[in-house]
Amino acid sequence: MAGYDYDLFVIGGGSGGVRAARVTAGLGKKVGIAEESRFGGTCVVRGCVPKKLYVYASQYSEHFEDAAGYGWTVPEVSFDWRKLVDAKEREITRLEAIYKSGVEKAGGTTFNSRARLVDRHTVFLEAENRTVTAETILIAVGGHTNPHASLPGHEHCIFSTQAFDLPELPKAIVIAGGGYIAVEFANIFHGLGVETTMVYRGKEILGRFDMDMRAGLHQAMEKKGIRILCQTIFERIDRRPDARLDAVLSNGETVTADQVMLALGRIPNTDRLGLEAAGVKTGPVGEIEVDAYMRTSVDNIFAVGDVTNRVQLTPVAIHEAMCFVDTVFRNRPTAPDHDCIPTAVFSQPEIGTVGLSEDEAIQRFETVDVYRAAFRPMRNILAGRDEKMIMKLVVDNDTGVVLGAHVLGPDAGEMAQLLGISLKAGLTKHDFDRTMALHPTAAEELVTMYQPSYTVRNGARV
C-alpha cells in the first residue's frame, strides 16, 4: 500500500460502489467508501426498489376489477398514498442499513460524506473536513435527472426522485419523456387513479425496444385511459392562480395538472468532483471516459456504473464492480460483458426483452425469421380483460440462432431473465422447439411457435 491510508477508496455508495467496497474489503484489503446521501444509491433509494414497490401498489386497481370475473365480490376500495409512502420508506431504510453494514462487516470503513478528488491519490471528505489517501480510487457516483433548465417554468416541475415522496397523490399529472422511467411512472400514477398524460417528442415511446412491443404497449396504455401525445414537446409550464400547473404544448394544447414530471434522461454526477485536479478525462455529457477495464485516463483511478454513461442499469453497475475487483485485486483482468442484457419495462402490461429487436437484427443479418404470437392470456379471459399478450422471437435464418426474444404481457420481466440464459448461451430455434412446453402457462408459447410468421431478407419481407 506504500504509505496510503487505504488500498481502495470508493466515492459513491450505490449499486456499483458498495459492491466493489464490500468484496474488496472481504479480500482483506483496507477499504473506505464515502456516500453523500444514503447508502444503496439510486437503485435502493430513488430508483428500482421504490419504483417496483409502487408498480405493485398500482397493479391492485386492476386486480380488484379482475377479481369479479373469478367470483369475488370486492367491496368499495380506497387508496391511501401516505401509507404507501411510509411503507416504502421503511423498506428502503431497511435496505440502506443492509448496504452500509455489509461493507462494515466485511471490514471496510463507511463515511457519510460528499467526497472529491484532490489529486490522483487523495480524496477530500467534506463532512469530515479532511483528506484521505488511497492507492486505488473507484468513482461510482452515478447520475442525476436532467433538469431541462432551458424549459420556461422548469422550476415548477418534479422528477422521479420527488415523485416517490409527494405530500399527496395528484389528481392529474403530465409526464414528459418516452423512456422506460416516464412509461413506468405513467402506469404507476394511472393505476393509482391519477389522470395521466404523457408528452413525448419522438414518434413512438420506448425508442430502443422492439417496434411490436412499443406499439403494443402504447395501444394498451391508451386503452386503459393514459393519454400519450407523441411528436409533442413542452413549450412552457405556468403556475396558475389556483396553484395548479398549465403545461403549454407544441401542438397548441394546454394540459392542466397538479404535477408536471420531467423524465428526460440522466446526467453523470461529475460536477465538482475534482476530476480536473486529478487529471481524469470526461466525455461530452460529463461522463467519465474509461477503457475496457474501466480504467480512467489516470491509471490508478477507475469508474463503474452510471457515471460512465454506458448502460444505466443496476446489474450492469454491479457486474462492472465485480470485474473491477477481479482486475485490480484478484489479478484477473476482466472486461465487463455488455452484450445481450435482459431488461424490462415495468409497465402494465409489462415488457421483457433480451437481444436484438427485429429492426436491429435485419440491419445486421441477411435473412431473419420472425416468430410472433398475439393472444389473450388465460388469466385475462374470466377477468373479461381484453388485453393481448405479444411474444416474439427473432432468429438468424442462416444459423438458427435466436437473436432476440421479446414479450409484452404479465410477468414478461421474469420471462426475460430466463430467456436471457438461452440467448447468452447462443441457443438456436431448434433448441427452443425441442424444449417441452409447460402447460398451462403463457410462456409455453415461446417454445411452440413452430413456423415463422414472416421472413425478412435484405430488409424486405419475403
Binding site for ligand FAD (CB under 6 A): 11-17, 34-37, 41-43, 47-48, 51, 114-116, 140-142, 160, 181, 269, 273, 305-307, 312-315, 317
435 — phi, psi (to 5°)?
A: -85, 130
Asked whether 30 and 1 are in contact (CB, 8 A), the reply is yes
Instruction: Pick the closer one to ligand FAD by CB: 51 or 214.
Output: 51
Rounded to whole angstroms, the Cα distance separating 131 from 119 reads 11
Taking the complex as a whole, how short is the minimal distance between the CB of residue 462 and ligand FAD, in angstroms? 38
Taking the complex as a whole, how short is the minimal distance between the CB of residue 205 and ligand FAD, in angstroms? 16
Instruction: Pick the closer one to ligand FAD by CB: 7 or 184.
Output: 184
Residue from 63, 148, 430, 439 carrying the catalytic annotation: 439
What are the start-end ranges of the H helices in 330-370? 358-364
Cell of 305: 456504473
Using CA atoms, how far residue 17 sits from 12, 303, 306, in Å, is: 6, 9, 11
Taking the complex as a whole, how short is the minimal distance between the CB of residue 259 and ligand FAD, in angstroms? 15
Cell of 139: 468513482
Rounded to whole angstroms, the Cα distance separating 300 from 53 reads 39
Taking the complex as a whole, how short is the minimal distance between the CB of residue 99 and ligand FAD, in angstroms? 10
Instruction: Pick the closer one to ligand FAD by CB: 10 or 395.
Output: 10
Taking the complex as a whole, how short is the minimal distance between the CB of residue 39 and ligand FAD, in angstroms? 7
Smallest CA-to-CA distance from 256 within 266, 269, 246 is with: 246
Asked whether 317 and 305 are in contact (CB, 8 A), the reply is yes
| R_g of the chain, CA atoms, integer Å | 24
Taking the complex as a whole, how short is the minimal distance between the CB of residue 315 and ligand FAD, in angstroms? 6
Taking the complex as a whole, how short is the minimal distance between the CB of residue 299 and ligand FAD, in angstroms? 21
Query: Closest-CB residue for ligand FAD?
Result: 14
Number of Cβ within a 10 Å radius of residue 63: 14
Rounded to whole angstroms, the Cα distance separating 162 from 90 reads 17
Burial of 333 (C-beta count, 10 Å sphere; 0-12/13-18/19+): exposed
Which residues are paired to 461 by β-bridges?
456
CA 90 to chain centroid: 22
Instruction: Pick the closer one to ligand FAD by CB: 12 or 191.
Output: 12
Rounded to whole angstroms, the Cα distance separating 69 from 134 reads 63
Asked whether 420 and 336 are in contact (CB, 8 A), the reply is no
Number of Cβ within a 10 Å radius of residue 274: 17
Instruction: Pick the closer one to ligand FAD by CB: 43 or 186.
Output: 43
Burial of 252 (C-beta count, 10 Å sphere; 0-12/13-18/19+): exposed
Instruction: Pick the closer one to ligand FAD by CB: 54 or 329.
Output: 54
Number of Cβ within a 10 Å radius of residue 372: 16
Taking the complex as a whole, how short is the minimal distance between the CB of residue 304 and ligand FAD, in angstroms? 6
Instruction: Pick the closer one to ligand FAD by CB: 35 or 387.
Output: 35
Using CA atoms, how far residue 179 sits from 108, 135, 208, 347, in Å, is: 37, 39, 9, 11
Smallest CA-to-CA distance from 372 within 407, 324, 335, 331 is with: 407
CA 214 to chain centroid: 16
CA 80 to chain centroid: 26
Taking the complex as a whole, how short is the minimal distance between the CB of residue 11 and ligand FAD, in angstroms? 5
Cell of 142: 452515478
Tell me if residue 439 is catalytic: yes
Instruction: Pick the closer one to ligand FAD by CB: 196 or 312.
Output: 312
Q: So which residues are the catalytic ones?
A: 439
